[in-house]
Structure 1
Amino acid sequence: MQTFQVNVLNPKAVKLLRDLADLNLITRKSQPADTFQRVVQRLREKAAIAPPSLDDIAREVEMLRARRYAKR
């Protein structure tokens, strides 16, 4: 058995997949897309582990500004 992940771009393709499943040629398993809440929750979990300090943020901003203005 082989497994594929398919992103369906055309609604007609969904119908084709359903028809193939009805003929017992394939099995389908839908995966819901990540909702906004799940993404926010994951970001919060990552931030809770080691949030950057204000000094770290300021240092990063200054470094990026220096690079940006050095190009001019």
Structure 2
Amino acid sequence: MGKDFLFVGEEYKVQVSSSDFYIDLLLHHRGLQCLVAFELKADKFKPEHLGQLNFYVKHLIEIRKKDMRIQI
């Protein structure tokens, strides 16, 4: 990925209400100060895959807004 990426975790847990969801791969870019989420799929693209990724990104943004630091 490059020299500025840090590995945060695989199967990174995102808790929404009382449900747990897992991001396949989560990285942090030091230079841009942002998180990069990957959702890995073995089949052809389906629109619901993008919806799943958007769901994760939305909740990562909410976590960051609440100033809950992700441990790197």
TM-score scaled to structure 1, two decimals?
0.26
- Structure with more contact order per residue of length (Cα contacts < 8 Å, sep ≥ 6): 2
More strand by share: 2
More helix by share: 1
Larger Rg: 1
